[in-house]
């Protein structure tokens, strides 16, 4: 069975996206990328130092991966747009993950500014993947202005609290015409699996991999769980009931 995901005209076979933050050494990135089997990798533009050969994080990212620079640190649409332009000018491609986070306490995104930035950058020819608070109305507006995918948070960024926004994301999955990538808060492979079982198109995991004791092995565990969740979704999960039931308790009399 062929099961592909297309974003911005690119066909992906892996539904796990990974990040580059929080590793104790950037030289872990190639092995993590390999064991995760991910094809998309996000990198904070704020951390990219093109003038440094030794510390340039880009040098650690496998060349065959799709680079998804993000606008981490932006607190307004305008800042996000400027960071995206810097990224493209630096030769990092035209994909961008919009992060507009004015709240420094919980790091929650600003959906309104995110929408504005998405609209501007789509017009400038970027493939835009906005990170957002799960909200169907905003998701539809993002779709309307040309977002290539929408990335609702599972719980606050870096919190490892799991897939807490499930009910809202479930609605987005049902109603969205663009891929839904659950991003942020996924702390365990089982939670990534849960998002995939629900029908998410992909998940992005960074903290849970980067801060584990063995990031390379953990990346492999996430790869397996994402695959398992996807296959379960495609196979159609059985209905859950609390008790065993006769097959037709109410209409059996009809014979």
Partner 1 sequence: MSFYHVYQELKELDLEGFLDSVTNNDVKRVLHKEVLNKEDFLKLLSPAAGENLEVLAQKAHRVTVQHFGKTIQLFDPIYISDYCVNHCTYCSFNVTNQFKRQQLTMEGIEREAKKIAGTGIKHVLILTGESRRHSSMSYMKDTVAVLRKYFESISIEINPLETEEYKELKEVGVDGVTVYQEVYNEDIYQDFHVKGPKRNYRYRLDTPERGCLAGLRSVNIGALLGLDNWRKEVFFTGMHANYLQTKYIGTEIGVSLPRIRPNLGSFSSRSKVNDRSFVQSLMALRLFLPRSAITLSTRESPDLRDHLIPLGVTRMSAGASTEVGGYSLEVEGTNQFEISDKRSVKEICKALYEKDYQPVFKDWNQL
Give the residue numbers annotated as catalytic, written as ranges. 97
Residue 170 binds to partner 1 (criterion: CB under 8 A): no
Q: Could you tell me the smallest distance in angstroms from the CB atom of residue 91 to partner 1?
A: 15
Q: Is 103 in the site for partner 1 (CB under 8 A)?
A: yes
Please return the burial class of 180, using the count of CB atoms within 10 Å of its CB with bins 0-12, 13-18 and 19+. Answer: buried
Decide: is 184 part of the binding site for partner 1 (CB under 8 A): no
Count Cα atoms within 13 angstroms, Cβ side, for 126: 34
Q: Distance (Å, rounded) from C-alpha 222 to C-alpha 237?
A: 20
CB of 21 to partner 1, least distance (A): 6
* For partner 1, the closer CB: 2 or 105: 105
- Is the Cβ–Cβ distance between 221 and 189 less than 8 Å? yes
Tokens 């990224």, located at residue: 87
Does position 48 interact with partner 1 (CB under 8 A)? The reply is yes
| Sign of the four-CA dihedral 133, 191, 48, 6 | negative
Crossing angle of helices 166-175 and 136-144, rounded to 10°: 40
Interface with partner 1 by CB under 8 A: which range of 115-123, 126-134, 155-163, 220-228? 155-163
Q: How far is the CB of 230 from partner 1 (least distance, A)?
A: 27
Question: Given the rule CB under 8 A, which of 92-100, 103-111, 114-122, 128-136 is the region that contacts partner 1?
Answer: 103-111
Is residue 207 part of the contact set for partner 1 (CB under 8 A)? yes
As measured in angstroms, the least distance from the Cβ of 85 to partner 1 is 10
The burial of 197, by beta-carbon neighbours within 10 Å (0-12 exposed, 13-18 middle, 19 or more buried), is given as: middle
Instruction: Tell which residue, 100, 51, 48, 92, has the closest CA to residue 72.
Output: 100
Nearer to partner 1, 82 or 188 (CB): 82
Of 39-47, 112-120, 194-202, 231-239: span binding partner 1 (CB under 8 A): 39-47
DSSP 69: E
Please identify which residue in 3, 22, 34, 235 interacts with partner 1, judged by CB under 8 A: 22
Burial string for 167-176 (b: 16+ CB within 10 Å, else e) reads: ebbbebbeeb
Rule CB under 8 A: which residues touch partner 1? 21-26, 45-49, 52, 55, 73, 75, 79, 82-83, 86, 102-107, 158-160, 207, 210-211
């Amino acid at each position: 069975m062929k099961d592909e995901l297309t974003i911005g005209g690119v066909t992906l076979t892996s539904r796990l996206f990974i990040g580059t933050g929080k590793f104790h050494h950037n030289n872990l990135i190639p092995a993590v990328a390999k064991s995760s089997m991910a094809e998309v990798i996000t990198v904070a533009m704020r951390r990219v130092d093109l003038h440094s050969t030794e510390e340039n994080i880009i040098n650690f990212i496998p060349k065959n991966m799709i680079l998804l620079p993000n606008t981490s640190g932006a607190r307004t649409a305008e800042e996000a747009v400027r960071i995206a332009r810097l990224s493209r000018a630096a030769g990092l491609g035209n994909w961008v993950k919009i992060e507009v986070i004015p709240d420094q306490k919980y790091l929650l995104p600003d959906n309104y500014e995110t929408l504005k930035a998405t609209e501007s950058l789509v017009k400038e020819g970027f493939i835009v993947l906005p990170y957002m608070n799960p909200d169907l109305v905003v998701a539809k507006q993002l779709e309307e202005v040309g977002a290539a995918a929408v990335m609702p948070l599972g719980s606050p960024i870096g919190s490892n609290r799991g897939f807490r926004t499930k009910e809202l994301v479930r609605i987005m999955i049902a109603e969205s015409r663009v891929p839904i990538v659950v991003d942020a808060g996924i702390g365990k492979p089982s939670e990534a699996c849960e998002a995939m079982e629900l029908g998410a198109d992909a998940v992005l995991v960074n903290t849970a991999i980067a801060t584990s004791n063995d990031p390379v092995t953990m990346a492999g565990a996430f790869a397996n769980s994402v695959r398992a969740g996807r296959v379960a979704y495609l196979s159609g999960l059985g209905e859950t009931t609390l008790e065993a039931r006769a097959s037709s308790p109410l209409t059996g009399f009809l014979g």
